Amino acid sequence: MTKNLTLFDIGAADLEASLNRAFEAWVVHRANSQSRAKSERPLSDESVNVYREMWQAFAKFCAERNLDLRDIAVSDLEVFLTVRGTGPDPEHPRQTTRGGNLSARYANRYLVLVQKVTQFQARVDGEETNRAAALLRERPEYRYAEAADKDPPPEYLDEMQARLLIAYLTRAPQPDSNEKMTWKTVRDRTAVALMLGAGLAPGDVRSLKLDGVITVGGRRAGVPWKLALEGNGNSPARETPVADWAGRQLAFWLRIRAQQGIPGDYLFPSTMNGTQWSHTRCFEASRDVLEGAKLGKDAGGLFKLRHTFALRQLRKGKSEEDVARWLGLLDINSMTRYRRIVIGYQDVV
């Protein structure tokens, strides 16, 4: 049965489309910007995808309440952040929340996005900028959200957690279980293996190409030992080592991928057609792997893996400069957060 659209439905759809066009115009503006200011530089594809998902949730919220950018009040933003934090919203799953609330850092980044797009659209329309987002960001919990003392030490896996996860990622299905080992199961587990065993971020996993897997020159024939990643707006092109166990898991995935005849350049495609894994689907699949390994699916779970890799390398005596380069960090000062941690676990990953 076809739904009968009311005038409100049509109006809301038009407003939502208009708000999304404002975002896309802002992205194009950033792409064409010649400014050296960090706030005006072109955005990486990964950043655009993340911001687009964030903005679409905001546009939907505004359209449902008939709020144009010029109409938004501080109270509207407060309600939105509350709704966004308490979910669940299957189309836009929470990714950086703690309990039932958005973290101050994530909420502030949402407000920054709203502020920037609103400022851009006001300039285009020749109007005064709505300062609701800027006013809300002046509150202490948001003003200091990015301060160094608000940046907690990174969460990481302890020795037992790391061993249990590795065992889960690399084991075959148990004969007495109903577990199915599909090609997507192997893909998902291998993706998580590279987060833990090579320090990749979810965005790295999504963008990694087949020709970035380096096998030649390794200790074991046919087993990848290094990855080459393309640069983007947030990090330079780089190479990063792969732990032995993760390399073996990657070799297994490459065999499965070849057997399935999956085309395309992406190492971890979304479908049998070889299309790129979406930000949301990659996050959900990786999170479910952690849940299957009994590690939970909390918001910081995926980056715990990357932090564990970094700590392992520092534990082995690798320099901060090397580890920063492997992680794709442009600022060596980002490594200071690891110095606060007394590394007491063994070299297990």
Q: What is the pLDDT of residue 146?
A: 61
Cα separation, 157 vs 167, whole angstroms: 14
Per-residue pLDDT of 227-281, as tens digits, reads 999 987 667 899 999 999 999 999 999 999 999 999 999 999 999 999 999 988 8
Q: What is the pLDDT of residue 86?
A: 56
Q: What is the pTM of this model?
A: 0.62
- Per-position DSSP letters for 181-203, written without gaps between them: --HHHHHHHHHHHHHHHH---HH
Pairing of strands 213-214, 226-229: antiparallel
Question: In the structure encoding, which two tokens stand for residue 87, read together?
Answer: 């979910």
Question: In the structure encoding, which two tokens stand for residue 339, read together?
Answer: 């110095």
Identity of residue 79: V
Contact 189, 270 (CB under 8 A): no
Cα separation, 276 vs 282, whole angstroms: 10
As a whole number, mean pLDDT of residues 161-177 equals 84
Of 130-139, 158-167, 327-336, the poorest mean pLDDT is in 327-336
Q: How many CB atoms lie within 10 A of CB 97?
A: 19
Question: In the structure encoding, which two tokens stand for residue 263, read together?
Answer: 């085309």
Per-residue pLDDT of 62-116, as tens digits, reads 999 999 999 999 999 999 988 876 544 433 434 433 334 567 777 888 999 999 9
